[in-house]
Amino acid sequence: MYIYRLVFLLVLAIYIFSPNILDWWTSPGNAWYSPFVVWAGLIAIGFWLEWRRDPNEF
């Protein structure tokens, strides 16, 4: 159960700071597509985690 509490805290933190994170992504000077690049990076991490996951893992 311990790991789920950590995940919960992490998700809560990301959620609370998400407007600031988005503001940072879209700050002037960045290309218009930079939020999408960061988003694609997150998807890549998700893909990698799924790819290396043991099929029996919970």
Question: What is the contact surface with another protein in residues (CB under 8 A)?
Answer: 1, 4, 7-8, 11, 14-16, 18-19, 22-23, 25-26, 28, 32-33, 35-36, 39-40, 42-43, 46-47, 50, 53, 55-58
Which helix (H) or strand (E) covers residue 39, if one does?
helix 34-52
Report, in Å, the least distance between residue 16 CB and another protein: 8
CA angle 43, 22, 2 (to 5 degrees): 60
C-alpha–C-alpha distance, residues 38 and 58, integer Å: 28
Shortest Å distance, C-beta 57 to another protein: 8
